[in-house]
Each structure stands twice: as structure tokens, then as C-alpha cells.
Structure 1
Amino acid sequence: MSGGKAITCPACGGKIEVRAAGFTVNLACQNCGSLLDVSLPEVVLIRRYKNAKDRFALEIGKRGTVFGQEWEVVGALRRKDQITIWQEFLLFNPYLGYRWLLVADGEWQFGTPLADRPQGDRNRVFWRGENFSRLGRDQPTSTTAVAGEFYWRVKAGDTANATLFQSGETILSREVSDGEENWTQLVPVDETEIENAFGLNRRSLPRRKAAQGLMQFKAAPGMEQDDLGRMFLLAMAISLFAAIAMALLAGPSTKTSSMIQVPVGGQIAPVKIGTITVRRPWQFVTIDADANRFENRWVDLEYNLVDRSSEQSIDAFGLVEHYAGTSSDGAWTEGSHHGDTMFGHVPRGTYDVYVSGSAHGWPVDPAVTDAWGSTETINLTIEASTGAMSWGMWWTLVFALFAWPVSILWWRFRDK
């Protein structure tokens, strides 16, 4: 193989050998890491760096034989996607042109740029008599480090969208960047052959990027649909089982109800609604409050379950509120004329149900306006019942069960 030419780095003054003179456009100085444009007779500094800290598994300038041909390592890239970090090495032979060596997860591949593009759609392509099926989904990739020389302008931070198609051990890689599409054929090559040809700095081999977030659940190629279906079925089965179990545990139901009147701007003393019986060792007790229609009012309610045997009280609070008005965006409403309160873990026993409360106007309590001095009141129907189910807990469980499969479904098909 013929030798290159030497140039001086305008950033650090170091000597650099251009190995593929006449072909190289971009060069990263091995001494300081600065990016240089060597396409013109006068070397132009593109970006200045102080130190070339990046190390690669293969040394630039090394020559070796792969598949019966001698190649020289002239450039190196470190790249990543959402799953993997890998290294790419640009090989040069003045008679054969450029080839690639890629290493990721301990596996090496030999890459040949394709002049004849495969034909097909996004899921299957045809090339030189073979059908290739899409492997996984499109992956956004980025370049994180550059060393050596290249026949195009490349720098750290460059991005591309990559898609893989596979037939047996052969993979076709398609990369699209800035509207330009490039195809490469990748075939496996044994690591021993690479080590014998170029030597190998094992300390600088790329390590697998730790999966984060949703990528921990990325399925193996060909398994996405099956795995996802099983996740949905499992979530549905657990949700149904939880609903049945909660219904059985809720136990028999007893109810009592009554109507109360609460003056706006005033309060009422505790009123007995009725009596309920908890027949299981523990049960939920729900109290529902339904009010007549009102606007810009709220009612604070205090509930007491008084155990007839011990006279101990279990207390809880409720709220019924509704507001309405107009703004620059039009009419608006907020709140509800209904409120419910749940007592959790009420022990077995017979309980008298009491309610007290107060009502208020917004923004201030209304003044008495009629001649009789009557006060505005809010009518509420209060109903207490045992054997209730905590639907809030059930929906929380359902959300947690379906959050991952739904998110993964969106993640996998967001670009389709």
C-alpha cells in the first residue's frame, strides 16, 4: 500500500500523516483532537480542541489483512443509540477503496458500502437476489467521538436515523442523515482475526450502554408482538382477579339515609342519620352526600360513626361545592353537587351515623334580603352504606398494570 503525506496541525503544530491523500476531506488531529479540513492545499482548522482523550480498540495507522485483502485503519468513530455504544473503524485500500469494521457488545462486523441500493418498503427489502426483513425499529444514533481521517465531513454531535434489515448472518444497514441515505452490507468477522490483523486494545472496547426507562423492556427481534400481548393479557387477568377479590371481601351491605338542611352562613349540630352494621371483621363504609342545585356555595361536613358497644367514634370529613361564572374565555363551572367519603378498615360492630356541617357562600356569605329574615339553606341527602369497594385503589392498580405495556406500545410504534 502506498504511503500518505504529512501535514502540520494549525491548532497544536503537531505532525499528522494523511494516509488516504486525495480522498480525505475531514481529519481529526491525533495529537490534540482538533477537526481539520484537508480538502484544499492549505489545511483549514474547523474546530479546535486541546486534548485528544478518546481511545479506540484499534490504533489508527495499523495495517492488517481481513478476508484476504490488506487494509489500513485511517479513521475511528464512537457512536451510540438508545441501547448500545459501539465503535466504527474506517479502513482504506488505495485499490479497493473504503470499508468498515464495527464492534458492539463483543461482536465484530465487516462493512461494505453499497453502490446499488436495495429495493422495498420499510419492513422488507430485496437486494442481489435476497430478501431482508426489518430488524427492530428505527433508531436515532449520534456520533460522540472522532479520530483520524474521513472522506466526508464528520464531527462529534452528528446524528442519523438507522434501520437494520437481516437475512441469515448478513445485515443491511440504512442510515439517513440530512436527507442523504447510505446503505452498508455487514457480515460477521471473528474477533481473533481482527486481533491477529491489527492488534486489539481490549481496554478500549465499547461497553454495552445500560438500558434505562422503557428500553429495559425492549423485546428481542421478532418477539415484540408476542411479549407485548402477554403483558396486556397478564394486566387484564390481574385487574379482573383484583375486582373479584375486592367484591368478595367487601361483604354484605347495610344502608341508612336521611335528609338534612344546612343554612348558608351557619352550621348545624350533629344529626343522627341512622344505624349500620359491619358484619365482617373489617369493612369499608361509604357516606354519599347529594345536594340540591346551588351555585358559588360550599358545604363542610363532618361524619361520625359511633360504636354502640364501646361508644367510640370514628370520624371523617366531606365536602360538597360548586362554583360558576364567566371570564374572557366564556362561562365556566367547577366542583360538583355530590360528594362521597370512605371510611377504611372499620371493625365489626353496630354504628350510629351522625353528620354535622356548615355552609358558606363565595366570595362572601349572602346577606338576609327578605322581610321575614329567612336564611338560605342547602338540602342534602346523606346515605351511609357498608360493603363498599375502593374503586380508587382498583383504578390505581389498573393504571400501574397497564402503564408499562401501553408506554412500550407507544415507544415501539411512535415512528410508524
Structure 2
Amino acid sequence: MNSPSTAGGGPRHPTRVQIGLLAAAVFMAVTTELMPAGVLPWLSADLGVENERAGLLVTAYAFVVAATAVPLTTATMRWPRRRLIVTVLLGYAVSNVLMAIAGSLVVAGAARVVGGLSHAVLFSIVTAYAARLVRPDLVGRTVAVLWLGTALALLAGLPAGTSLGAATSWRWPFVVLAVLGVALAACAGTLLAPVESSEPGTTSLSGVVRSPGVARVAIATGLVMLGNFTAYTYVATLLLSAGFSKDAVGPGLLAHGLAGLAGLWWSARLADRRPRLGLTISLALLVCSLLGLALAQDSAAATVVALVGWGAAYGGLATFFNAAALRATPARDTATALINVAFNLGIGGGAVLGSLVIGAGGRAPALAPLAAGLVAVGLLVVLAGRRHAFPSGAAPEREAPGQHPS
């Protein structure tokens, strides 16, 4: 990734710098998305609402992404990518400022809608944008670097924000994220190459969905995310119910994030050579870890083991699912928009499902076996998709017309 891009009239800075900036944007975006889960007990207490109602802040964000990712990606297809990335990064900053000053759940919900709109666009274009900055033989490595931003959000961003919120106020993590969003927007306007969209404006959504395997990849993604976030939305509550102290929740999430980094390394090694095997093992581990979490509620040590397994299993899923979608269709922006929709329908649906379970009188530990069952269904979809969606080996990526930089 040392050679500069020549797309869109030439780069302003070396490609490595630009990819690093995009990975930092992914880090900020994922930390923003998940931060309410890390500070949920203190946020809900301060706003005077129940945990399950405050947990719906994750839902509002995710459902906005799911509803708007495809139409916003289509509407902005002709926008210069650099200008669009700067705009969405400023959108994240506005969202986090509103969260930091929110005095009610309504204001906090509005803040999350703004963030969701930004997220809908960023995660629909960032992979295709990064692919245009490098030679075709470096695309896989580049995507892995982008998803390192997600792993670091789980490893450092969410635990640090949770610990900051526990030590001060739940509002301060959002202040820090707002400042980071402004700084990244300024850097993006200066450092990123001014490239155009990575696919023609005439791309047909129905044509992409009908591509062999795309629908199956999206269904499997949505089911797995639904299961994962049924439990993860209430992870702080789960840890507290397992005997963790308030100050130990952040370190627990740090262990989860470290394991996620190992999962990302695992996916980088197998996503090109043995994607089906890698994804199958990751999903099986996720099912076992969630079941282990349910059985370990009387033991903090056993809970840590299950939490680490959970993080390792989840860490590589974005790589596997996005790689599968990119192999299934040549229309990259549209494909990643659809996976973005599936991810966020699962995230939002998980928050709703968890809220319904707790609101109906269920205890937080009951969420883990329910989550495991949903992930297991997703695993069955993967196992049934051998031919087109999840083949044993990765076929060479197909390109949309105009995909390569000129």
C-alpha cells in the first residue's frame, strides 16, 4: 500500500496515509454506534428511563441505517467521494454533540438518527473507495486494514469510552467522539484523493439482489447480527449480573476487543483461501460462546472466558460477509450497501428483541441462549450456500465497469 492512487486526477498524499485515515474513520464510526451499549446503565439512570427503553437508542441508529443505506448510496452515486466522506464525518460529530447535551430520551434518539444517516453512507462507500486507491492485487489487504478500525473500536474505543463514562459521566465519551469526528473531517478534506464513484450510476438494485448468492449472504448476515446484538446491546447489564463491579465492565469489554483483534487476524488469513471454513468455525465458536455465557452467570472467571470466545468469533465476521458479497456481484457500492442494511437490521432487531425479553420480565442472562439460537440459524444458511454465496475457495473478484482507476 505504498504506491499512491492515480484515481480522480491524482492523490494528494501517499495511499498508506489515506487508508490509515479511512481506518480511523471506521474506528470512530463503530465506537459511536456501540457507545450507548457501553454506558447504558448510567445513561438510562441519568435520563430517568428503564434499561430496555434506553437500549432502543441502538435500535434507532441501526434502523435508520437499514432504511436509508441503499437509497442514500444511490442518491449520492455521482457525488465526489472525498466531499461525501467529509460530509458524513461532520454528521457523526453533530450526532455526538447532540448525545452529549441530551436531556431526554427524545433528544438522544434524534442524535442517533443523525448518526445513523451518516453511518448509512460511510459504510456503503468506504470499502469501494479504498479499493480504488490501490492496485487490484492489494484490495484484500486494504479491506483488512479498514476492518482493523472496527476491531480497534471494540478493543480500545468502546472499553475506553465505557471506563471514561463510569469514572466521570456517560456524556464525556460522546464529547470526545465529536471532537474526533471534526478532526477526521478536516484531515479527510486535506488528505484524501478526489475520486469519483466506483460504479456506474445506472446500477440496478434488483439486478444486484438477483446476483447468485447476494440474497443468501444478506440473510445470513442479518440473522447472525440479530443474534449477536440481542445479547451485545445489553452486554454491560450481562456483566453486572454476572458479578462484575461497575469499574470492571470496561476491562471486560477490553478483553472482548482483544479477542476480536485475533478474530480479525484469523479472517485475514482465511478470507481469500478458505472463506467457507473460516466463517463456519467463527460462527460455531460464537454459538458456543453465547451458550457458555448463559451457563457462566454465577462465575466471573467463566464469564470472561465466554466473553473472550465471543470477541474472537465476532472479530472476523465483517471480513467474511463483506468478502462474500463482493465476490457475488460486480457492483461493489451497491453490494456493500445491502450488507450494511443486513448488518443494521440485525443490530436494530437484536436491540428490540432484547428489550422485549427484558420488558416481559426476563432476566439479562436469558438473552444469551436466544442469541445463540439465532446465530445457529445463520450458520445453517451459510452451510446451505456452498455454491454461490459461501464457496469453499474464493473466486477472483469481478469488477463493475469503470471500477479501476484510470
Task: Kindly name which structure, 1 or 2, has the bigger radius of gyration based on alpha carbons.
Answer: 1
Higher relative contact order (CA 8 A, sep 6+): 2
TM over 0.5: no
Counting helix residues as a fraction of each chain, which structure ranks higher? 2
With the shorter chain as reference, the TM-score category is: under 0.3
**TM-score, normalised via structure 2 length:** 0.19
Structure with a larger share of its residues in strand: 1
